[in-house]
Structure 1
Amino acid sequence: MPDSSPRRLPRGRYALAREEVERIQRSRLCAAMAEVMAEKGYVATSVADVLRRSGVSRQSFYQVFDSKIDCFMAAFDTAGDLLMRRLLEMVGADEHGVPGPEATGDPLDRFERAFTAYLEALAIELPYTRLFLIEVYAAGPAAIRRRSELQAAITDGFADLMGVTGDAGRFTCQMIVAATSTLVTRAVADNDIEGLRAIGPRVIDHVRTLWQAGAFGSVADRPGPS
């Protein structure tokens, strides 16, 4: 069985630069925050729990973060970054969202790839997913605002992916993103990975039906009738 205990950072002449040490500690603390909260929930998770899981000292914690909520917000941002990175990779876009050759073609095909990537990212990063979808509501108004901002960014990305140009179509995208959030939250709360992945085909089929019915309004690259 592999050793899962945290490794100490090197000291002496080969010691890492202070900035690199803080980056590693921040990463460990964010991962520990997500993992402990997946087990205990935000309210029951203490800084001491995070320190034990991460192997980082209390002094080092407060050199990186001001408080438990500060660490939570950093972990939340990490969750968002992980999700967006996986989505961009799967739809063939670079880190700035600029599409590559494989990202062209039928908007519905692009959506299917992106939505499948979204569900897979949620399944792979389950502790961060629980933080992003569930524990955020226990962390207070600032965390909920950050959640709303990220959801708005996902909506904008969805609309751009589909080539939607009108307000009616963007509202359709907003409703789909909101409904998807509700659907996946139940599966995540139950730690039901297969149930999470099973949401994909039904949502994809429904989006195709909405597209064919014209619910996305004016779009930049709607394919002609087949």
Structure 2
Amino acid sequence: MSDSSPRRLPRGRSALSPEEVERIQRSRLCAAMAEVMAEKGYVATSVADVLQRSGVSRQSFYQVFDGKLDCFMAAFDVARDMLFQHLLEMIGGGEGGVPAPGSGAGPMDRFEQAFTAYLEALAIELPYTRLFLVEVYAAGAEAVRRRADLQNSITEMLADMLGARDEEGRFTCRMIVAATSTLVTNAVAENDLDALRAIGPPLVRNVRTLWDAGALGNRHAAAGPAGQ
């Protein structure tokens, strides 16, 4: 796990406020949920497994969460926020988490930079990545809906990055994100980080082909290098 992993509470009486104690316990429980599910899967993971991994008592667990699914949904939100935090750190992103347009890079250069950072962010936090890419489908309808919302947000970021403003361009962006989701999910399900990172070059090449063909709403790009 990254340096953001929650710290242990001190033994004995603590000067921490009840709110800080709950925040630390919540972080520990979310991390434990992600780690145990990476090993056992959502269905086979029990509250007892999470308690054993986190060191949090059952009483404290139910003061923070209603049950296993509630803990999962909180861990999903942590995974989403962690992904975007890593992206921002890696690419020095502007508003919306994408490389700033004023950086001098063209849309496709910005896409390649962001997509490479996205794959690296997934690799860095693999237990959380498995949680929102693989185990989410075993957690029920609300979890799947939240996964779809995340995918829609990524689609909007991609469309803004590439300047895809018409319906055809945005539909192409949805296809790119859907294909990416399938490719990275397969690699993550196999815990194959080499396969995960290897997705980058061929996918970027294919997106460049779509860009050059004007399939992303950039009709001027088909005229030649001036549109790059």
Q: After TM superposition, is the score higher than 0.5?
A: yes
Aligned to 1:27: 27
User: Bigger CA drift: 78-87 or 203-212?
Assistant: 78-87
Do the aligned residues in 2 keep the contact of 1:76 with 1:128 (CA within 8 Å)?
Answer: yes
Return the alpha-carbon distance in structure 1 between the equivalents of residues 76 and 20 of structure 2.
21
User: Bigger CA drift: 78-87 or 119-128?
Assistant: 78-87
Do the aligned residues in 2 keep the contact of 1:166 with 1:219 (CA within 8 Å)?
Answer: no
Tell me, what secondary structure is at the counterpart of 1:7? coil
Q: CA deviation at 1:102?
A: 6.5
Aligned to 2:38: 38
Matched, 1:113 2:93: no
Q: CA deviation at 1:100?
A: 4.4
Aligned to 2:162: 162
The runs of 5 or more residues in structure 1 that have no matched partner are 1-5
Q: Which segments of structure 1 move beyond 6 Å, counting only runs of 4 or more?
A: 219-223
Do the aligned residues in 2 keep the contact of 1:35 with 1:128 (CA within 8 Å)?
Answer: yes
Residue identity in the other structure for 1:224: A
Q: Percent identity?
A: 69
Aligned to 1:215: 215
Return the alpha-carbon distance in structure 2 between the equivalents of residues 77 and 9 of structure 1.
26
Aligned to 2:83: 83
Residue by residue over 1:76-134, the C-alpha shift from the partner in whole angstroms, topping out at 9 and shown as x without a partner, is: 01111111122233332257548647645200010011100110011111000111111
Q: CA deviation at 1:225?
A: 4.5
Alignment map for 1:1-226 (pairs within 5 Å): 7-12=8-13, 14-94=14-94, 97=97, 100=100, 103-218=103-218, 224-225=226-227
- Superposition TM-score, scaled by structure 1 size: 0.90
CA RMSD of aligned residues (A): 2.4
Do the aligned residues in 1 keep the contact of 2:116 with 2:200 (CA within 8 Å)?
Answer: yes
Do the aligned residues in 2 keep the contact of 1:32 with 1:53 (CA within 8 Å)?
Answer: yes
Residue by residue over 1:179-215, the C-alpha shift from the partner in whole angstroms, topping out at 9 and shown as x without a partner, is: 0000011111111001100010010111111100111
Return the alpha-carbon distance in structure 2 between the equivalents of residues 146 and 72 of structure 1.
12
Do the aligned residues in 1 keep the contact of 2:172 with 2:215 (CA within 8 Å)?
Answer: yes
- Superposition TM-score, scaled by structure 2 size: 0.89
Do the aligned residues in 1 keep the contact of 2:83 with 2:121 (CA within 8 Å)?
Answer: yes
User: Bigger CA drift: 30-39 or 102-111?
Assistant: 102-111
Tell me, what secondary structure is at the counterpart of 1:85? helix
Question: Compared with structure 1, are the counterparts of its residues 51 and 176 closer, same or farther at alpha carbon in structure 2 (3 Å cutoff)?
Answer: same
Q: CA deviation at 1:177?
A: 0.3
